[in-house]
Amino acid sequence: EAGVAQSPRYKIIEKRQSVAFWCNPISGHATLYWYQQILGQGPKLLIQFQNNGVVDDSQLPKDRFSAERLKGVDSTLKIQPAKLEDSAVYLCASSLVQGPPDTQYFGPGTRLTVL
């Protein structure tokens, strides 16, 4: 079974530029998550999708971050414009169903460096 795929693996941009990350969850998984992991901290949930609907985006900085999952499968997370403090690893995860305690399976992450 293929795992969660993410691309790119690494990205370096200048502040105020825009960037987009892509995630393809495990086949059949209805729930998709985006986490932000800043160096030295644990991952923090940015947004959770159930199929193509948003379940929780309470910690997404909506003035600069956006995410979509148009067909209920893959998803894109965008940052525009980027700030220095956005430097982090962005992890995508998926689970079969929405409710706890279903196991979340994580992708390898995208490491973003904002200069």
Partner 1 sequence: AQSVTQLDSQVPVFEEAPVELRCNYSSSVSVYLFWYVQYPNQGLQLLLKYLSGSTLVKGINGFEAEFNKSQTSFHLRKPSVHISDTAEYFCAVSAYGGATNKLIFGTGTLLAVQP
Q: Which is nearer to partner 1, 22 or 106 (CB)?
A: 106
Q: What is the DSSP letter of 45?
A: E
Q: Which of 77, 79, 107, 112 binds partner 1 (CB under 8 A)?
A: 107
The correct pick among 23, 43, 67, 82 for binding partner 1 (CB under 8 A) is 43
Tokens of 2: 């293929």
The per-residue DSSP string of 55-97 comes to: EE-TTS-TTTEEEE-TTSS-EEEEESS--GGG-EEEEEEEESS
Q: Which of 45, 66, 68, 87 binds partner 1 (CB under 8 A)?
A: 45
Cβ 49 to partner 1, closest distance in Å? Answer: 11
